[in-house]
Chain A
């Protein structure tokens, strides 16, 4: 117990903290400039000077540890004089351009000078001059205003881990700059903007159009880009977002955001947003009224159901829509129309991976807390770069590495290059061989607890008949054996082949051997929620298998549940092309663009009698639709998302939308027109039914969710244990696959599917698709970064610039699926692999120098 006195107040401390922190706890605010919660103390600005009895000089409270018996004074004449002098020094060079500075009103220097003075400077020489830099599309740099607190640099290095900026020069010619001196070319997280106390680093997106007092409304919400679900504050004026910012202490991201969350909001105000419902007449889409569109959808669905039966109708839900939307979609399909033909693009990877992991290891196995990753002493990453797919989760791995955790990567992980201890080659093509080699060694000498007999049996069968070269096996096994508190992060890239069921079993075995917490990367904010709401052909709301729980669901709802398992995403496409599926209802998804094999999907959808698309843009799929219904975007509606750690979070509306309707409400209107009683006037009523039907969400109200209490297991209910077994082929004969060059899907940091292409800000950072290749491949072809190459598959070819990634395995060539001009989908084919996810095995590709 430490007892000290600050400004006459006696303070008792349980643990060692700084004087600054002790004072804050006692409600005494000591002024600071270079201090920022969460960053390492720097003691550079000297504003937090305090008087401590028996110490000869003034001390910086941010670096001085509180000690027993200390008597501290924080506001004396001596201290005030010192602060005044420091501020006078800072103002020697800091321009007094507050009227044109965007920071005015929330500038820490301005506030400090207002409080401590001086009212006039004594320095008569001129101020230093350094031109404002507009070299960067997003961040404007005014180094005349910089006070060298280094908060941005400490943020960039110690929390973000990007090491993009530094102090260049020295003395009064010190400036904070990126390496290039111009463009940042960094991860563009913008976290430096959060910490800059003055107007030195500012966003260009709201330049000269933002002042703190312009903000009419602030709303706390959750980001709609990826499966992490970062909390953020939308600041609005006249119904539009001026900016989105993170807030310390808010949400799992605690003050950090990534590029998409911070700068990617301008798609909401895109000119291309859908303004009106559209109906196809004589081959063209025409604007119609809502009532006409809704009546038409209902009458066509009714007609098709009567003519071809309910099994001729299917629906695709969305990882971007809320739980409520997805619940209503499956409700419409299951109870009103009477089919289980419902799925989402989670089928491409997330859903089958999660279901099999849960089948082997138990329901909720991936429900682990993201902020807990940093406490791990070992992290195994495989199947994609978390710092690109789920950036804020990636930062946790960097934090763990900084705290001494051993990080082992298998496969592409450029963002962890500086943080990984062992980067294993071989993935994705030969991931099974590497995992098999690891498991063969690791299982020796490990006493298995017999918790999972089936998995242990499988584990003992693992045999690599032909190992691959270049794996530092001893070192890897040594590192794995030392892990007492391990984390395993699994991404999509290793689960996109025909053998992915075997890969997943090997991953599950590794999780079991390491007793690791497992995280499944998710590209969309609500894949997990869509699944939990029953947007699956064989699962009812609450993650309940159809065959086992049909009766229970019928009892709960008083409705009949169709007995047969429905068609999944791939099967619906096949059924459409074979003419078995006549109508498809697509909500918030763009299969024509987002699925590989554009031609195959387009051909299949063309054969449909009726296609409805509910979206915010006229997507490639919407262009083919018979009816297009404009939905509300992420910031224009309320509802809940379930993130990849199964945290249910509330998203709130803030901006205006005159034209769109919430997805769930559109579905309610259509259900009513199909003879359902109108039940849901407000969103809360939808959730009430979810809670009633789904045992997973039982007793979970919106109040709990808003309070941040909706963390797995909700209300502490234990759920299904392990009950599944799988037929896994070739466990005892794992050999390398000679696949040749394979085309893979790139998941870039700056973009997210086809939504981000409507964000001017994100496009200003990256406005083209890159062909990402390995260093070896680039050397072999004599290529340098930025060279243009031709990419050829049996479906066609395209030209794009290359990006060399030293962590890419030699025979893999990546391209993203964002841009219309050059994308993955138009060049790639697919199969449904044995896991049920996307298999890209048969995608041979050639590269030619142009």
Chain B
């Protein structure tokens, strides 16, 4: 709530503060459940339907429960050429992780991203907010094993 109050100070109206508030709600609830959306609406005194409309428009919000860590792997042209699709297969083999899915232990979720602007160092991915590039069949697991 304090965090939301801080956010509210930066915007001319309550509606403007909605996107950052949704991040706060997402952090608190893990994903934007109905309950999380209702809380966000209450915090900003906006109609819940309005909040839901905005939240569902954007891809950066989680609309179902996700693993502790979110892998966002790019498979656009450059990454694809550099073997990103092989990495998708490997993630499935090693963790049983499907695109759009979550591992059974709730450790990782995988989302296939459109270009994340790292074509020069393809293939590339984001894990939560950390950027990792020049991935290959070996170092991807070295990196991922650091995320518990």
Contacts and interface: CB of A to CB of B under 8 A. Distances in A.
Interface of B: 34, 37-38, 45, 47-50, 52-53, 56-57
B57 A170 contact: yes
A806 B107 CA distance: 41
Contact of B49 (A165, A169, A418): A165
Interface of A: 163-170, 177-180, 418
Given A179-B52, A180-B34, A169 B47 contact: no
B52 A168 contact: yes
Q: Taking chain B's interface residues, is the majority helix, strand, or loop, or is none over half, making it mixed? A: helix
B48 A179 contact: yes
A179 B56 contact: no
B50 A163 contact: yes
A169 B48 CA distance: 15
Given A168-B57, A179-B47, 6 more contacts: A163-B47, A164-B49, A166-B49, A167-B53, A179-B34, A179-B37
Nearest to A168: B56
Nearest to A173: B56
A178 B49 contact: yes
A167 B49 CA distance: 9
14 contacts: A163-B49, A164-B47, A166-B49, A166-B50, A166-B53, A168-B56, A168-B57, A169-B56, A169-B57, A170-B56, A177-B52, A179-B38, A179-B47, A179-B52
Contacts of A164: 47, 49
Nearest to B54: A166
Contacts of A166: 49-50, 52-53
Nearest to A165: B49
Contacts of A169: 56-57
Contacts of B45: 418
Contacts of B48: 179
A819 B52 CA distance: 35
A168 B47 contact: no
Of the candidates A166, A169, A178, A418, the one having the most CB atoms from chain B within 10 angstroms of its own CB is A166
Contacts of A170: 56-57
B49 to A, nearest CB: 4
Contacts of B57: 167-170
Contacts of B37: 179
Contacts of A180: 34
Contacts of B47: 163-164, 179, 418
Contacts of A168: 52-53, 56-57
Nearest to B38: A179
A400 to B, nearest CB: 19
Contacts of B34: 179-180
A170 B52 CA distance: 12
A180 B34 CA distance: 8
Central interface residue in A164, A165, A168, A179, by most chain B CB within 10 Å? A179
A170 B50 CA distance: 14
Contacts of A178: 49
B37, B49, B52, most chain A CB atoms within 10 A: B49
The 3 closest A-B pairs by CB, nearest first: A166-B53, A163-B47, A166-B49
The residue among B38, B45, B48 with the most chain A CB atoms within 10 A of its own CB is: B48
A165 B53 CA distance: 9
A163 B34 CA distance: 16
Contacts of A165: 49
Contacts of B49: 163-166, 177-179
Most chain A CB atoms below 10 A, which of B37, B38, B47, B48: B47
Contacts of B38: 179
Chain A CB count within 10 A is highest, among B34, B38, B45, B56, for B56
A163 B46 CA distance: 9
Nearest to B45: A418
Contacts of A167: 53, 57
A179 B37 CA distance: 9
A164 B51 CA distance: 11
Nearest to A171: B57
B79 to A, nearest CB: 23
A31 to B, nearest CB: 28
A178 B57 CA distance: 15
B47 to A, nearest CB: 3
Contacts of B56: 168-170
